Amino acid sequence: MTESHHDVLIIGGGAAGLALALEIADHRPVTLLQPSPDARGASRWAQGGIAAVLAPSDDVEAHVADTLVAGDGLCDEAAVRFTVDQGPAAIEWLLSLGVPFTPIPTRMPAILIT
């Protein structure tokens, strides 16, 4: 068996693992392991979208309801509400890191990662 040294080893390439890797990367070398090419976590179900209220015409309750319906009973409402509440700050953080977003012109404000 070959020995290797990693300052930080993150197992999982979902939203949480990737966010942690981005946060730490400026301070320490990071190795990120994803167990399979198509992770079985929840991040892939988001399809690149972030539920967030970004305009006065937008509505937290609409995003919460939409996410709960899309989750088909698998979502914890408190976790969904926290995610929607923190969405704008998460988007600002990602933009500050240079993550490209493409606004999608619709009746309701929407923003998707490209």
Task: Assess whether pLDDT exceeds 90 at residue 21.
Answer: yes
pLDDT for the residue numbered 86: 94
Split into its structural domains, the chain has a count of 2
Are 24 and 79 found together in one domain? no
User: Concatenated DSSP letters for 26-93?
Assistant: TTS-EEEE-SSSS--SSGGGGTTB-----STT--HHHHHHHHHHHTTT-S-HHHHHHHHHHHHHHHHH
Are 36 and 53 found together in one domain? no
Structure-token pair, residue 47: 């399809």
Are 31 and 70 found together in one domain? no
pLDDT for the residue numbered 43: 67
Are 5 and 24 found together in one domain? yes
pLDDT for the residue numbered 47: 66
Are 33 and 51 found together in one domain? no
> What is the domain extent for residue 52?
47-114
Are 97 and 60 found together in one domain? yes
Q: Decide: pTM greater than 0.75.
A: no
User: Rounded to whole angstroms, how far apart are CA atoms 19 and 30?
Assistant: 12
User: Rounded to whole angstroms, how far apart are CA atoms 71 and 113?
Assistant: 20
pLDDT for the residue numbered 80: 94
pLDDT tens sequence across 31-74: 999 877 765 666 666 666 788 888 888 899 999 998 899 888 88
